[in-house]
Structure 1
Amino acid sequence: MTRGENEDELWDVYDINRRLTGRLHRRGDQMDEGDYHLVVHVCIFNSKNQLLIQQRQPWKKGWPNMWDLSAAGSAVAGDTSQNAAEREVKEELGLVINLSNERPRFTINFPNGFDDYYMITQDVNIEELQLQEEEVQAVKWVEQQELMQMVEDGEMVPYYFLHQIFELKEIWGSHKRKDFSRGIIK
């Protein structure tokens, strides 16, 4: 384990259909074939259409010193996807968000799990954030062009969908966001 990682952390184990198995998995141990765990990412945008990104600490096991999405992490035993996302934002940024009426915008399957992505719009004063020293060394707002330059320069974790992330925040499936109060699609 590296600094900032909890080797005593337990995850719920899911089956391939994302059903809880009732078993637990200890972080850092090899997962059994057919076992899956839940990861969450939160992408925070502001009203200026900028994305909040964080820089990972140099001692992080994966992607040290790289810039990453707003907040992310594994769900711990007992977490729902929403609870895990709220907790990760609170732990890493010191920011309280409420996702009780939100669903992940999309989910990406990976070999050992499911990765839920939340897209929220919230104006945040980054000077007031309380960064988790074990994981986050800095934060900043970026526009799409700067984000793409960071990817090209090898400074940003290279998620394959980053070239579309600003559009993804407005899309549900194959449709743009629906204004449910008026029954229209924007």
Structure 2
Amino acid sequence: METWDLYDENRQLLNETMVRGHEVPPNRYHLVIHVCIINEQGQLLIQKRRDDKLGWPGAWDFSSGGSAIKGDHAREAAERETFEELGLEIDLSNQRPHFTINFENGFDDFFIVHQEVDIESLKFPTEEVEEVKWATKKEIHNMVKEGLFIPYRKSMVDFIFDMRIGFGTIDK
């Protein structure tokens, strides 16, 4: 049974929790993370979700993602989810999320990681991921159009690739 911490609308941690699969209570929010691993060629590591996975079965998605569990901060959740889904250890100890997307029931923190990964050597430790590959921005856009990728907004995919250079909104 997975338990999540709950937050108020200002992202203040409350002394409340909920069980995964239950409805998020009104005026309460939970924390989700995504990790986008980009290589030196500017390609994004993407994963294909298993066909029996709840929520977007068989669809391609960003490198890793999931909900923070009770006691997790965003960094810890991102490191844990990346290891759970890809068997890959990443160190985010000196990194903040590049951006956050607020959604109806929570906050989704996105981390962009620059790392070369030998995808042939990855071993998926859980039953969540079926396959991984490197993809360009154009390839991801085409996959979204074809219904193969989770239907993220085109502008969000563009933003991830644009933000791989660094923090902030000023292009230096």
The answer to whether the Cα contact below 8 Å between 1:148 and 1:163 also exists between their aligned partners in 2 is no
Which SS does the other structure have where 2:54 is aligned? coil
Which SS does the other structure have where 1:167 is aligned? helix
CA offsets per residue over residues 2-37 of structure 1, 9 Å max, x none?
Answer: xxxxxx100011111111111111111111111110
- Partner in structure 1 of residue 30 of structure 2: 37
Shift of 1:132: 3.5
- Partner in structure 1 of residue 84 of structure 2: 91
1:67-78 to structure 2, matched below 5 A, reads: 67-78=60-71
Q: Which amino acid aligns with 2:170?
A: H
Q: Does 1:174 align with 2:145?
A: no
Q: Which moved more, 1:160-169 or 1:41-50?
A: 160-169
Distance in 2 of aligned mates of 1:41 and 1:137: 18
Superposed CA RMSD: 1.1
- Partner in structure 1 of residue 9 of structure 2: 16
- Partner in structure 1 of residue 116 of structure 2: 123
Shift of 1:172: 2.5
Q: Does 1:149 align with 2:134?
A: no
The answer to whether the Cα contact below 8 Å between 1:54 and 1:139 also exists between their aligned partners in 2 is yes
Q: Which amino acid aligns with 2:162?
A: E
Distance in 2 of aligned mates of 1:153 and 1:9: 33
Distance in 2 of aligned mates of 1:81 and 1:164: 20
Q: How many residue pairs were aligned?
A: 170
Q: Which has the larger radius of gyration?
A: 1
- Cα 1:101–1:68 change in 2 (3 A) is same
Q: Does 1:162 align with 2:162?
A: no
TM-score under structure 2 length normalisation = 0.95
Distance in 1 of aligned mates of 2:15 and 2:128: 30
Q: Which moved more, 1:55-64 or 1:160-169?
A: 160-169
Q: Does 1:28 align with 2:21?
A: yes
Shift of 1:171: 4.6
The answer to whether the Cα contact below 8 Å between 2:84 and 2:126 also exists between their aligned partners in 1 is no
- Partner in structure 2 of residue 65 of structure 1: 58
Which SS does the other structure have where 1:172 is aligned? coil
Q: Which amino acid aligns with 2:140?
A: L
Distance in 2 of aligned mates of 1:30 and 1:131: 29
TM-score under structure 1 length normalisation = 0.88
The answer to whether the Cα contact below 8 Å between 2:60 and 2:149 also exists between their aligned partners in 1 is yes
Q: 2:101 aligns with which of 108, 116, 120?
A: 108
CA offsets per residue over residues 50-70 of structure 1, 9 Å max, x none?
Answer: 100000000111111110000
Q: Which amino acid aligns with 2:169?
A: S
What are the ranges of 5 or more consecutive residues in structure 1 without an aligned counterpart? 1-7, 177-185
Which SS does the other structure have where 1:96 is aligned? coil
Segments ≥4 residues shifted beyond 2 Å: 170-173
